[in-house]
Amino acid sequence: MMEKERFTMLLLEPGEIFFEDYSVQMKKLKDTQFSKDNKWMEGRLKLCSKSLVFVNKDINQPLIKLQLKETTSIEQCTLSNDIVSNVLSIECKQHVEMLEKNILAPYRFIHQNTIFHFCFNYAKVEDCLSQILQLHRAASLITIEQNAMIMAIVHSRQSRVSFDTSWLEDLYEQVILETQANKVLPLVINPGRVLLTNSRIYFQPYNNMDQHPVLKIQLKDIRNVIKRRFLLRQVGLEIKWIRQTDSKIKHLFLSFQNQDGRDKLYENLLKQSAVSLETVPQNQMTMRWQNGSLSNYDYILYINSLADRTFHDLTQYPVLPWIIQDYTSSMLNLNDVNVYRDLSKPIGALNPIRLERLKGERYSEMSDPKFLYGSHYSAPGFVLFYLVRKYPQYMLCLQNGRFDHPDRMFNSIADVWKNVLVNMSDFKELIPEFYDTNNDGDFLMNNYGIDFGYRHDGTKIGDVQLPPWAKGPADFVQQLRNALESDYVSQNLHHWIDLMFGYKQRGIEADKADNVFFHLCYEGAVDLDTIRDINDRHGLEVQIMEFGQIPKQVFILPHPKRLTLAPNLLYSETLLTSPDTITSDNACVNKKSINFTELVMFQAHKDCVTSIVRKNKTSNEIISVGQDGTLKLYNINEKKLTRSVILSSLSLSSCISYCTLSQRNILVAGSWDNTLIFYDIEFGRVIDVLQGHEDAVSCLAWSSTHQVIISGSWDCTAKVWHEYTSGPKIKLTECFIAQLDHDSKVICINISRDDTMLVSGTEDGELCLWNMNSYNLQSTIKGHTCRVNAVTFDKQCSSVISCAEDKVLNIIDVRTSTQIYSVSLESEPLTLTWMGMFLLIGDNDGNLNIWNHQEAVFISQIHCHDGPLCALAVTADNNLIITGGKDRKVIVWKCHNH
């Protein structure tokens, strides 16, 4: 059964416009004679751009649609048997009956000459006759010319209408902009007026078919505004807002006459002070997904949105992958990799036999531009193929009142999967509903009880046949969702993203990946606005719309792989406990702040503090070195300086500490006099000085696994040394292991947590990645355009994080050497260190910035020093942070969570 209001715009042709309706009485005349029992029937006559629809007051009687292209005459007449002259007579070769007894079913096409008389109760025939005749003339033209004439009629009507300001919520609102736009829903376009004020945006449809006489959106409720393609043109605008009454997210999708009109409203809307958008940078969302804060499902929907895919447009509906390939087993084992589809290949390449046939029968002999697949993975017909049980009215609208042949319908999951593997023209992917657990798989059930007919074997079409391992639609969708979030998919989803939205979508890489579709379905393949012949243009529009559209390309480099470490393990590592979160359109946003208390401050050095380390892992003592050439030892518990030693007449740039096999605590300091100074902490003496470089030593690192020291220098090298244990004077030939050559001064180095990789940052902005087993160069990345100040690896050793003079924090994927994330800071970042999943960043203004790596968001900042914060250390066991600055201070901070 349909809703109480039987007439909807889905009963019209896709995109057809409803103008207005009239209270009328109707009589039907067959073969030029009224039937004896034919009486006047009460109802309403709907005037639409390509048809007239009579809605009978009697719910058991069908709606009657008179298509103007099937109409032979329209005239005003006076009935001979009474004095009524306010009658409209319409003669048709064919009419359509819909929703008899209010049951949704295929339309009945009555192929016989019929005359309809409509007696207007209130309006006058002459008031609407001229427009009906005008639309009737348009119906005699070819489709493209008819559409152009209708648009001219629509524009003429709309230009005479302005927004009714009596609908303003506040008479003191300042009007910013008024324009014409269409409200867009799947297969439905409803024109109206858009009014932007300094506090609200209004949409007032020209007709009375909308849910609201005037839609009112408070600007303060708007969360996102996105420019969209609509019907292949950049004329769409999607507005997302939160409804205050129930906190639900709502959407308004508008289309405009041209891009300038769309952009003007967009720009003026964003200028309003009341608008505060919840925008999250793309690279931040990728980081959240990679680190487990965003589900695979939500991330794919997010990328779809970036690629102009929206639930409001069937031609660009969100696309999701087939994940499972086992639809015959009684149990689904998600730990078995064999149940999963190969995500590195497009649907068309999953079956090697079919792929070879496609290449052999067509592709090799085809002239450019070649294509492998004569069908697409997402098109309006495919979307409604899956959704016909939930939205049967959409299918009837798209297919002129008919459903598919019963044998071609979506009847069985297993059959559809088999078909997309073997059929030479079926390459469908899936839609979000297959993974959306909120609706319990309702699209798989024939809840309306619609008669879809019988298959060739006599089986009546009902619910979709599910695989044996599914207990029902809700369980089926839940298991698919579990599969989508599985470790296997998390490790391989980036391959599918590369195919659909990334660098394998087009060009040479698409060719290599057997991912080539008909050239017109790619964005930018044709500029419709430059095609002057309206017939050619219309033909292209129809072809592209029905075939399907490739998503807008979002990534041009390989997409990073998701980290396989479970999110709860990422959280358990931190001392700052799991963060409080809010949900914003399925995206997890950290709202935790961190405060610091100063425990003790040491005014110890005579010049800038350059490096801080703990004496050892269990000690409450810390060591600092500075540009005054001095080493300082502090006891945190006793809050006092316990030792001060001059190690060099020049600046000390860095220091590391380690424990020898004989349990001696050794500190190594790098000096501007080109040396590495070895200091025995227990005995309080310099035990050796290594003339290691030809210029100042700039940085040091220690590998406990390999028992080596690595020093970086302004002489453009990094060198690897055996650790010092004990014995006579160190000889260079005995200690030296390897030299890592660079093109400019080495400024900073860091070793990955698993001791497998070394990264070095240089004065010219390069990041060099070295193998810790062979000390061979793995890759060189141009991470910055200026001096790299600090580098570190993430906890999973999957990416390198760097900061530089350009005030930029970069994250580079180790596997692909591509940038995952980049953010500009207010002040130049100087030093980096980890505290659990939080990255601590000391900057040139003396601030300590706390960055949540998992959420890719800054959550706290504390001003620590007067001048640059140059040195950082963490004692994770007791939640202490130690900072050193150019102001010569060393400060110990206690961290608190909120």
Question: With contact defined as beta carbons under 8 Å apart, do 44 and 59 qualify?
Answer: no
Q: What pLDDT does 613 receive?
A: 95
Angle of helix 534-547 relative to helix 380-387, nearest 10 degrees, comes to 40
Q: What pLDDT does 545 receive?
A: 76
d(CA 72, CA 90): 8
Report the topology of domain 9-158. Answer: PH-domain like (2.30.29)
Q: Which two tokens stand for residue 532?
A: 């002057």
Q: What pLDDT does 813 receive?
A: 92
Contacts of 128 (CB under 8 A, 6+ apart): 22, 47
- Asked whether the domain spanning 161-279 has the same topology as the one spanning 9-158, the reply is yes
CA nearest 847: which of 831, 864, 834?
864
Cis omega (within 30 of 0) on the bond before 186? Answer: no
CATH 2.30.29.30 fits 161-279, yes or no: yes
d(CA 819, CA 800): 9
For the chain, the domains span 9-158, 161-279, 297-547
Question: With contact defined as beta carbons under 8 Å apart, do 206 and 157 qualify?
Answer: yes
Q: What is the mean pLDDT of each run of 10 residues along the chain (898 residues)?
A: 72 91 89 60 95 95 96 85 77 95 93 94 91 94 88 83 88 92 91 95 87 89 93 90 82 94 97 89 90 94 95 94 97 96 97 93 83 93 96 94 94 97 96 96 95 93 97 98 97 97 96 93 80 77 82 93 58 29 35 74 94 85 96 93 96 93 86 96 92 97 94 98 68 81 98 96 97 96 94 93 96 90 95 92 96 90 96 83 96 82
CATH 1.20.1730.10 fits 297-547, yes or no: no
Q: What pLDDT does 574 receive?
A: 30
Q: Tell me the torsion sign for CA atoms 645, 647, 649, 651.
A: negative
Question: With contact defined as beta carbons under 8 Å apart, do 802 and 821 qualify?
Answer: no
Does the pTM of the predicted model rise above 0.85?
A: yes
d(CA 258, CA 177): 16
The residue written with tokens 């250390």 in the block is: 873
Radius of gyration of the chain (CA): 36
Helix (H) or strand (E) holding 621: strand 621-626
How far is residue 559 CA from its own chain's centroid?
A: 13
Bridge partner list, 871:
884
